[in-house]
Amino acid sequence: EVELLRFEIRTSIGHLTVSGTLGSGPAYGGSKLRVELDGDNAHTLMSMFNIDVLPEDAFDLDAQIETTDSGLLLERFLLEIAGNERLELSGYLSYKPGSRDTAVDLTLNGQHLQRVLKNFIPGVEVPDLPYDLSGHIRVEADDIHLRDVRAGFADIELDMAGSISLRDHLLGTQLDFHLGGKDLSTLKMFPGLRSSLAVFVPGQSYAAAGRFYIDGTGWGLDKIKGRIGDTDIVIDGQISQQPGWSGSNVDFSIRGPDLHTFIINRNAPDLSLGAFKSNGRLELGGDTLSIRNFSFETNIASGKVNLEIGWPISSIVDADFQINLWGKDIRSLLPALGALSLIHI
């Protein structure tokens, strides 16, 4: 071993200072080094390790590493980026193609999620707010394995574990997740969710847990159990890769103590008070949308529906249906029955 008291050099990525001991040549395996580096582009630096999520900003790096013939052992790796982004790594970074056999513990946090995600998911639109991410990542030949991954953004918390496939179309991906937050309205900050969440009463907490997967027929949600406020929701389904999503299906059930505390009733002032429940199945065929074994129950009415309509829906709807309704007051059903005027039998 050769002692290095101090070694400084100006490189293409910044000012580098190295101290420590060098292992035996020619590859100097077993070298134990402290590396300090400051430069102008954190994205360029981490792209060398196949990590392409950091912005193109100035940085300071302080690391304790040991070299091997096939990679780097990271005792400490701290990268601080202008704009208050901070990346910490420990573990093993492989030199192998595709970073195969890399296994690291990662912590990433900062003030600008939008700037980070645009490097990883081009075109994504999220608010540019503080975030944090941590977890264990292991890279194999065909998969990236995730363990104890935790992410936080605003009041949104996400826990995740599983594997992301590196095969075509991500086939074989399986991710178990838990998502939750104190206020469902927070999710309206994402443009794609804004209109669909407008129906829910603001201020409700929420949670969802289950498995997301991708297989040869499409992507699916396996036994997703969720809650919005005091209302419980269960979803199980698959979205097909066929044209027009033909072959997609979703089973659902929902149960809660009061519709008025669950959804906004500005367009339905006679909405039933008290407990409610509903379940059913949606199926999408090549040119039909089917509602199978749909049922609902409130304190003033209940019903069962089987319905098949042409898809996509036009101004005049061809439909086959079977509807059974029971209730205490027909007037509570009149607004819904008015929709039948659209149906051409």
d(CA 241, CA 314): 23
pTM over 0.85: no
pLDDT of residue 232 exceeding 70: yes
Summarize the confidence of residues 317-324 as an average pLDDT: 78
pLDDT band, very low/low/confident/very high, at 345 (cuts 50, 70, 90): very low
> What letter represents residue 320's amino acid?
D
Cis bond before residue 191 (omega within 30° of 0): no
The most confident of the ranges 195-204, 221-230, 270-279 is 221-230
Structure tokens at 22: 């060098």
Burial of 77 (0-12, 13-18, 19+ CB in 10 A): buried
How does DSSP assign 17-69, residue by residue? EEEEEE-BTTTTBT-EEEEEEEES-HHHHHHTTT---S-S--EEEEEEEEE-S
pLDDT band, very low/low/confident/very high, at 182 (cuts 50, 70, 90): very high
Burial of 341 (0-12, 13-18, 19+ CB in 10 A): exposed
pLDDT digits (tens, 9 = 90+) for 170-181: 999 999 999 999
Burial string for 7-33 (b: 16+ CB within 10 Å, else e) reads eeeeeebbebebebebbeeeeeeebbb
Q: Which of 52-61, 191-200, 334-343 has the lowest mean pLDDT?
A: 334-343
How does DSSP assign 162-187, residue by residue? EEEE-SGGGTT-EEEEEEEES-GGGG
pLDDT digits (tens, 9 = 90+) for 10-25: 888 889 998 998 887 7
Where does 98-191 have alpha helices with state H?
Answer: 113-120
pLDDT digits (tens, 9 = 90+) for 257-316: 998 889 887 665 566 678 999 999 999 988 889 999 999 998 888 999 999 988 877 655
pLDDT digits (tens, 9 = 90+) for 106-150: 999 988 887 777 766 667 677 788 999 999 999 999 999 999 999
d(CA 219, CA 189): 25
Structure tokens at 97: 């193609």
CA separation (Å) from 138 to 30, 160, 240?
A: 22, 14, 29
Q: Indicate the SS3 state at residue 285.
A: coil
pLDDT digits (tens, 9 = 90+) for 42-72: 888 877 766 766 778 899 999 999 998 889 9
d(CA 42, CA 116): 11
| Contact between residue 87 and residue 54 where contact means Cβ atoms under 8 Å apart | yes
Q: How many CA atoms lie within 13 A of 74 on its CB side?
A: 20
pLDDT at 221: 94
pLDDT at 342: 45
Summarize the confidence of residues 236-253 as an average pLDDT: 91
pLDDT band, very low/low/confident/very high, at 5 (cuts 50, 70, 90): low
